[in-house]
Amino acid sequence: FLFLLLSMGLGPLLQGQCLPTSWVITGIVLNGAGEGVQGVDVDIIDPFTGLALSLSQDVTQADGRFTLVICEVVTPGFYDFHFQTTPAMPYFDFLLQTVNLAGNTDVGEVTLQDASVVSGFVVGEAGQFFAGVDLDFFDPVTGLETVFSGDFTDDDGIFSVKVISDFWDIRFTEGPATSAVPLVPKLLQDIAAFESHDLGEVLLRNGQALTGTIQDSSGSPVEGADVDVRDPVTDEEFETPGDNTDNSGVFQVLVPSGSWELEVDPP
């Protein structure tokens, strides 16, 4: 038997201890409609060390089922299962915690939450691609932010973020190493993110600091006044985070080069 294994090129399996006595873990991964999901990678993590176990055949098949083998000697106890999807799959990753393993185990059904994929790329005024741009997602009605993983551009300026299917306001803000010059944040409003939504090109313009001091009729500084800057022709309002005056009545915002309309609203 050993000769046959080695002659078939399966010697590494012996070294990895994928033997007939190894533990076999089975289960099935489904979507919200109860359909099997193919191509999901299954990892088993030791919660005490944070290390992943050595596994074989740890990807779901066409019907969503998996039959994996733990290729190392493990101590019976509780382990975490991490079900990872590819970036293009319309599902969120899933973490199944504290599964008791003491031998061959069937974890049963695992259901992934459906997701919508928002994708596109971010460029500058010269057509350059911007890496490390942060995407923030806000409820258009309440203004509350929801954080999703992977919400930033890669080295080629490309982003692909899995979000809950809904309408979103999406704000693009430069990261610490995105650009040598300041960039004006960009806000896209009421984006219908259902299934896959490609935003295409998102332009971040170079920013100029616009500052000033707001006073009342007696010359005293006005704290908490709100400053808005917009294009008088298109009525487009620029995204200006932190645009309220401080306790000295001073404001400072980033805007593109040009001639704009400035509106100041009292607290």
Q: pLDDT tens digit string along 171-223? A: 999 999 999 999 999 999 999 999 889 999 999 999 999 999 999 999 999 99
Mean pLDDT of 153-162: 96
Q: What is the pLDDT of residue 17?
A: 59
| Higher pLDDT, residue 16 or 217 | 217
**pLDDT tens-digit readout, 27-84:** 999 999 999 999 999 999 999 999 999 999 999 999 999 999 999 988 999 999 999 9
Mean pLDDT of 108-119: 96
Q: What is the pLDDT of residue 90?
A: 92
Q: What is the pLDDT of residue 143?
A: 94
pLDDT, averaged across the chain? 91
The pLDDT > 90 percentage for the chain reads 88
Q: What is the pLDDT of residue 1?
A: 41
pLDDT band at 6 (very low <50, low <70, confident <90, very high): very low
C-alpha to C-alpha distances, 36 to 27, 61, 152, 214, nearest whole angstrom: 11, 8, 30, 61
pLDDT band at 14 (very low <50, low <70, confident <90, very high): very low
- Strand spans (E) along the chain: 24-30, 41-45, 55-56, 65-70, 77-84, 94-101, 105-111, 116-123, 134-138, 145-146, 158-163, 166-173, 186-193, 196-203, 208-213, 226-230, 250-255, 261-265
